[in-house]
Amino acid sequence: MIPFVAVALAQDEGAPPEARREDVRPVADVPGSGLRFLGIVALRTAATNVSTTNPFLNGQLVGELGGTNTTTTTEEVGHASEQRVAAFFSYAPPLWDGRLQLDAAFEIDFAFGDQAYGIGGNTGGGFGADQVNLQTRRLGARARLGDSTWLVAGLQFVGDGSADPTRSKPDDLFRGGGRLMFFGSEAAGLTAYGTVGEPIRYKLGAYTLVELGIAAPDDVTLYMADGAWSPAYAQRAGVHLWYLRDHAGGAGGTFGTGPASVLSELQGGPRLDLRENGEGVAPVINADLLWVGLDHGWNAALDRGRVGATVLGVASLGRLYVEALPDRDVRGFLGDLELRARIAEGEGSVARVELLASSADDPATDTYEGIVTGNSYGAVGAVHGTHGCLLLFPDVSAINRQVAAVYDVSGGGAGVAAVTGGLAYDLVPNRLTVGAGAGHARSATFAPLGTEINARISGKPWVLTDVGIKGAVLLDTALPENPWIVLASFDWVVI
């Protein structure tokens, strides 16, 4: 089952809110002023048996269910309500005839009653409020070069495809390029988006993910080159090359960075133990990582026919440089195939099935044979968003609390083999939708990771609003109780 594309997405993950619908792009507040605005309001209240054993994790909580984020399940039922308000601004002064533009985005998230009179993001809903909690999501300059190229400099959303997030539909991001499974978050850098005629578009980007010593070569930098070609009606093929240079030695942030870090393990990625004989202090690890990908979509957005398909293949390559020990090669792969069909009138009447597979590491070899994603370098650095699950894979509409049995498509380095699907029907076309879905995942060695069953009902009482009730239960886990959640949500796109 596919969440409505108009819902608000989770913190620092998935498609940026301003890219959710082509028909709700920011419009000028004053004709001719050059000022454009888009707002996102999201409210959620949930009941669940998923809890954390750490009383200090009362702000943003992400990562693997039952993992190092201290989440578990109990017989007790917890209740919580959350809210998000995000504002996206762009200002193109008339003096430059729209060729120069300033982009900015800010956000406030909190759980009802969580904290007041303090400092920190993802909190501020306590009695008294007065919290310093404004989060900067975008801040950069945009310049148009010629008629077909935009240059973006500063803090911006970085996806793993050729689509410009501020000028694209959700399906361009979730069903194009790397589908945000490898990179999908904010970063500071420089990006060029352009087209060559009608059939070809491209993206070239360079970003600093981690800056340690200003004058020292100890940073993490990412370079991306993506291209897409539309050879025929309703078809688009893409090629992708991403290179990450990691000279931080695992440093950066509270939990470190890289595929041997606590951060990576927290978010369901690999945490490689490269110590000799598993003893002693963990060595410093640097890395050169390379991803090569191909994707193809046929009517991926279901806007040019009743049936659509997408296929993606990515090779994760590179080398890990281990201090005082032999280097380790990286050699993994991921494949994904999704089929969708519109079964009746209404945009919500869709049947879908998706197959996902990623390679597993063999500890007996000197090569890491799994994949690496942006979750090893940022929170949240990547997210799989088309599965339609709430607990098996990350719920992309979560506000502050987002945990899943399979949080990263690497499966912690053990690989993933998964099938997800759903069936939804518009009782009232484009106004009232019911749906059900399911998913099953195993590691590449066939160890069960979980089986989810879910259902939802959602409606649009007003234009650009969505009200829904969802529920899911997760089976076949090693947790004390089967995880479950029931939630109600309200989402409003403000223009």
pLDDT of 2 > 70? The answer is no
For residue range 425-454, list pLDDT tens digits in order: 999 999 999 999 999 999 988 899 999 999
Mean pLDDT of the chain: 91
Residue 94 lies in a domain: no
For residue range 337-380, list pLDDT tens digits in order: 999 999 999 999 999 999 999 999 998 899 999 999 999 999 89
Say how far apart CA 352 and CA 428 lie, in whole Å.
Answer: 20
What is the rounded average pLDDT of the residues 302-308? 95
pLDDT band of residue 222 (cuts 50, 70, 90) is: very high
Cis amide prior to 311 (ω within 30 degrees):
no
For residue range 170-204, list pLDDT tens digits in order: 899 999 999 999 999 999 999 999 999 889 999 99
Q: Are the CB atoms for 346 and 394 separated by under 8 Å?
A: no
Q: What is the pLDDT, as a whole number, of residue 31?
A: 56
Residue 153 lies in a domain: yes
Q: Are the CB atoms for 135 and 128 separated by under 8 Å?
A: no
Q: What is the pLDDT, as a whole number, of residue 55?
A: 63
Distances in Å between the alpha carbon of 338 and those of 185, 187, 236, 268? 23, 29, 15, 23
Tokens standing for residue 73: 């399940």
Q: Are the CB atoms for 289 and 312 separated by under 8 Å?
A: no
CA atoms within 13 Å, Cβ hemisphere of 212: 17
Q: What's the predicted TM-score (pTM) here?
A: 0.92
pLDDT of 205 > 80? The answer is yes
What percent of the chain has a predicted confidence (pLDDT) above 70?
A: 93
Q: Are the CB atoms for 296 and 236 separated by under 8 Å?
A: yes
The number of folded domains in the chain is: 1
Say how far apart CA 317 and CA 221 lie, in whole Å.
Answer: 16
Of residues 327 and 167, the one with the higher pLDDT is: 327
Say how far apart CA 42 and CA 54 lie, in whole Å.
Answer: 26
SS3 476: coil
10-24, 69-83, 262-276: least confident range: 10-24
Q: What is the pLDDT, as a whole number, of residue 444?
A: 86
Q: What is the pLDDT, as a whole number, of residue 166?
A: 87
User: What is the distance, to the nearest Å, from the Cα of residue 168 to the centroid of all Cα atoms in its chain?
Assistant: 16
Q: What is the pLDDT, as a whole number, of residue 215?
A: 82
For residue range 23-67, list pLDDT tens digits in order: 445 555 455 678 999 999 999 999 999 998 876 666 788 999 999
Residues 6+ apart with CB under 8 A from 63: 69, 71, 266, 267, 268, 403, 407
Residue 123 lies in a domain: no
Say how far apart CA 27 and CA 24 lie, in whole Å.
Answer: 8
Q: Are the CB atoms for 443 and 362 separated by under 8 Å?
A: no
CA atoms within 13 Å, Cβ hemisphere of 170: 22
Say how far apart CA 199 and CA 303 lie, in whole Å.
Answer: 18
Residue 388 belongs to what domain range? 138-490
Q: What is the pLDDT, as a whole number, of residue 275?
A: 85
Cα torsion through 147, 149, 150, 151, rounded to 10 = -130
Q: Any idea what the CATH number is for the domain that residue 219 is in?
A: 2.40.160
For residue range 268-282, list pLDDT tens digits in order: 999 999 887 777 788
Residue 34 lies in a domain: no
Say how far apart CA 285 and CA 279 lie, in whole Å.
Answer: 16
Residue 355 lies in a domain: yes
Q: Spell out where 247-366 has E strands.
A: 285-298, 307-322, 328-342, 350-358
DSSP 3-state percent helix, strand, coil across the chain (nearest 5): 5, 50, 45
Residue 490 corresponds to which amino acid? F
**Pairing state between β 432-442 and 220-229:** unpaired
Residue 200 lies in a domain: yes
Q: What is the pLDDT, as a whole number, of residue 292?
A: 98
Q: What number of other Cβ atoms are within 10 A of residue 61's Cβ?
A: 18
The continuous run of DSSP H or E covering 170 comes out as helix 170-174
pLDDT of 10 > 70? The answer is no
First to last CA, the chain: 28
pLDDT band of residue 169 (cuts 50, 70, 90) is: confident
Residue 154 lies in a domain: yes
The continuous run of DSSP H or E covering 228 comes out as strand 220-229
CB crowding 186-224: b at 16 or more within 10 Å, else e: bbebebbbbeeeeeebbbbbebebbeeeeeeebbbbbeb
Q: Are the CB atoms for 483 and 474 separated by under 8 Å?
A: yes
Q: What number of other Cβ atoms are within 10 A of residue 407's Cβ?
A: 27
Residue 70 lies in a domain: no
Say how far apart CA 84 and CA 122 lie, in whole Å.
Answer: 9
pLDDT of 327 > 50? The answer is yes
